[in-house]
Amino acid sequence: MSDTLTPDVIGRRVEVNGENATVRFAGVVPPLAGPWLGVEWDNPERGKHDGSHEGTVYFKCRHPTGGSFIRPNKVNFGTDFLTAIKNRYVLEDGPEEDRKEQIVTLGNKPVETVGFDSLMKQQSQLSKLQEVSLRNCAVSCAGEKGEVAEACPNIRRVDLSKNLLSSWDEVIHIADQLRHLEVLNLSENKLKFPSGSALTGTFSALKVLVLNQTGITWAEVLRCAAWCPGLEELYLESNNIVISGRPTDVLQTVKLLDLSSNQLIDENQLYLIAHLPRLEQLILSDIGISSIHFPDAGIGCKTSMFPSLQYLVVNDNQISQWSFFNELDKLPSLRALSCLRNPLTKEDKEANATRQLIIASIGQLKTLNKCEILPKERQTAELDYRKAFGNEWKQAGGHQDPDKNRLSEEFLTAHPRYQFLCLKYGAPEDWELKTQQPFMLKNQLLTLKIKYPDQLDQKVLEKQLPGSMTIQKVKGWLSRLLRVPVSDLLLSYESPKEPGIEIKLENDLQSLRFYSVENEDCLLVRW
């Protein structure tokens, strides 16, 4: 750029040696001669001061080292949309082909042309483009009116992330020429909103809008959404958004909403978007949430909030209470959940037990942390849950006879699905609720009889096994002993105290003692 400054330079986005900034000042900075630009860097570590020089404040920065003064000829103000596309996508011809002469007829007059093939090839290439990625290509404006529509009429998907766009006016001028535009990524641009309303139908075909790290506010989100009547996916990651109003006439078609890394969002703000009728996927990773409640739904009931929500992502939050998952069971359409890297779900030796508890707490869940929940896993999880809290259930007034059940409100609040599990599998019997012996050396080894009900030629074996031994390891030992594949083995046990009752050992990750296996019990092996 030349040293001549124009009044409209303030607010423009610029690039200097690979770093982006916003122009905050243009003029003279005494005692230094000549014109200067005062810029606020996107990366405050790139700057030197807060916009002042020798005691005079020329502009203000959000960070004390976010500003610099730069000569205008050192600044790149960017390029227009169509030029960026040509630079990125048009194949360059060699010098010989550029010089090739050709005679063409325009009307009745023959005309000699140079490079005509090259021009036709460029136009053909551009007209076929449907997907354009111009990330970090210094795009700052739309260019001449009508040029984009003429050259690239079929573009449907555009990535304009991390460019030099400084206002929605320029975005509108681009989009207005792309009548088939369905996907638009404007992440990492700092966009001022237009003074007037947007052109009617500018984003009429748009289905996906990505506005991550743009500094957009919730009020601006709602204003922008009004331009996109058919919007289905909206990404708003890392914008410090505060949800300040209920979307009444906008966002009604949105199926996916990503609010990740907006640390100012809390539980009460989520109520404002809880009645979006078509919202199927909600991404709330890294917003600092620790609890959620649906006050309109009592124990065992479904909430009217988030009526269509099927997939919820709450990774990297502060979830540390099981009541969070109890509340999620109230969502009528929830089928998939991702809750990685929370205090309650960190990857450790208890990860499988945590997974089982979540499955048992949310009855309609089909996928957890992108892993399908098979019917067998759900049955095992629910049976284990029913047993694990059986003594607590009994102490809280639970009884095998439903007519004698007098469960406390405290227990029902902590375990809202327990009564349903009793109806599904039957109330836990007394023998299932045996108190396990203290974990002492003399109690670690169990003397068991090993029988093979379907293999009459196999002799009964007596063996001492650790009570802490998992079913998976027991199967591994039996596989080596019997030379039978582990996958073919089915285990159960009988207790002489409860003749005729056979207990299946279905969860490979649980221990013998978890199933209340005791000395002199009989391990039944089938394949």
Does residue 219 carry a pLDDT above 50? yes
User: What are 123-174's pLDDT values in tens digits?
Assistant: 668 899 999 999 999 999 999 999 999 999 999 999 999 999 999 989 999 9
With a CB cutoff of 8 Å and minimum separation 6, the contacts of 441 are none
User: What are 76-135's pLDDT values in tens digits?
Assistant: 999 999 999 999 987 554 444 444 454 444 445 454 444 445 545 556 688 999 999 999
User: What are 505-524's pLDDT values in tens digits?
Assistant: 988 888 888 888 888 899 99
Query: What is the pLDDT, as a whole number, of residue 455?
Result: 86
Instruction: State the angle between helix axes of 116-128 and 81-89 in degrees (0 to 180), rounded to the nearest 10.
Output: 100
User: What are 223-241's pLDDT values in tens digits?
Assistant: 999 999 999 999 999 999 9
Paired with 448 in beta bridges are 463
Least confident range from 189-198, 231-240, 334-343, 432-441: namely 432-441
User: For residue 374, which amino acid is it?
Assistant: L
Domain spans of the chain? Answer: 7-74, 79-93+101-164, 288-435, 441-526
32 or 318, which is more confident: 318
Which overall architecture, per CATH, does domain 7-74 show? Roll (2.30)
User: What are 180-218's pLDDT values in tens digits?
Assistant: 999 999 999 999 987 665 455 579 999 999 999 999 999
Classify strands 35-41 and 19-28 as parallel, antiparallel or unpaired: antiparallel
- Average pLDDT (354-365) is 96
Most confident range (mean pLDDT) of 33-42, 281-290, 440-449, 504-513 is: 281-290
User: Do 7-74 and 441-526 come out as alike in CATH topology?
Assistant: no
User: What are 246-258's pLDDT values in tens digits?
Assistant: 999 999 999 999 9
What is the four-CA torsion angle of 405, 411, 413, 416, rounded to 10 degrees?
Answer: -60
Banded pLDDT at 343 (limits 50, 70, 90): very high
Question: In whole angstroms, what is the distance from residue 290 CA to residue 403 CA?
Answer: 38
User: What are 376-398's pLDDT values in tens digits?
Assistant: 899 989 998 998 999 999 999 99
**For a pLDDT cut of 90, what percent of the chain falls above it?**
69
The answer to whether the beta carbons of residues 203 and 175 sit under 8 Å apart is yes
Query: What is the pLDDT, as a whole number, of residue 267?
Result: 95
Does residue 72 carry a pLDDT above 50? yes
468 or 214, which is more confident: 214
Query: What is the pLDDT, as a whole number, of residue 197?
Result: 54
Does residue 440 carry a pLDDT above 50? no
Query: What is the pLDDT, as a whole number, of residue 193?
Result: 86
Does residue 21 carry a pLDDT above 80? yes
106 or 304, which is more confident: 304
Q: How large is the C-alpha radius of gyration of the chain? A: 34
Query: What is the pLDDT, as a whole number, of residue 489?
Result: 93
Does residue 4 carry a pLDDT above 70? no
Banded pLDDT at 459 (limits 50, 70, 90): confident
Least confident range from 296-305, 330-339, 483-492, 508-517: namely 508-517
- Classify domain 441-526 at the CATH topology level: Ubiquitin-like (UB roll) (3.10.20)
Query: What is the pLDDT, as a whole number, of residue 32?
Result: 86
Which overall architecture, per CATH, does domain 288-435 show? Alpha-Beta Horseshoe (3.80)
Does residue 350 carry a pLDDT above 70? yes
In 254-331 the beta strands, taken as DSSP E runs, fall at 256-258, 281-283, 311-313
Average pLDDT of the chain, as a whole number: 88
Query: What is the pLDDT, as a whole number, of residue 118?
Result: 52
Helices (H), 439-514: 441-444, 471-482
Banded pLDDT at 175 (limits 50, 70, 90): very high
Query: What is the CB-side half-sphere exposure of residue 358 using CA atoms within 13 A?
Result: 27
What is the four-CA torsion angle of 77, 80, 81, 82, rounded to 10 degrees?
Answer: -150
Query: What is the pLDDT, as a whole number, of residue 441?
Result: 41
Question: In whole angstroms, what is the distance from residue 94 CA to residue 255 CA?
Answer: 48
- Average pLDDT (454-482) is 89
| 3-class SS letters over 156-215 | CEEECCCCCCCEHHHHHHHHCCCCCCCEEECCCCCCECCCCCCCCCCCCCCCEEECCCCC
Does residue 400 carry a pLDDT above 90? no
- Average pLDDT (430-456) is 71
Question: In whole angstroms, what is the distance from residue 359 CA to residue 356 CA?
Answer: 5
DSSP state of 127: H
Does residue 36 carry a pLDDT above 80? yes
Query: What is the pLDDT, as a whole number, of residue 506?
Result: 87
Query: What is the pLDDT, as a whole number, of residue 3?
Result: 53
The answer to whether the beta carbons of residues 203 and 227 sit under 8 Å apart is yes
Classify strands 256-258 and 157-159 as parallel, antiparallel or unpaired: unpaired
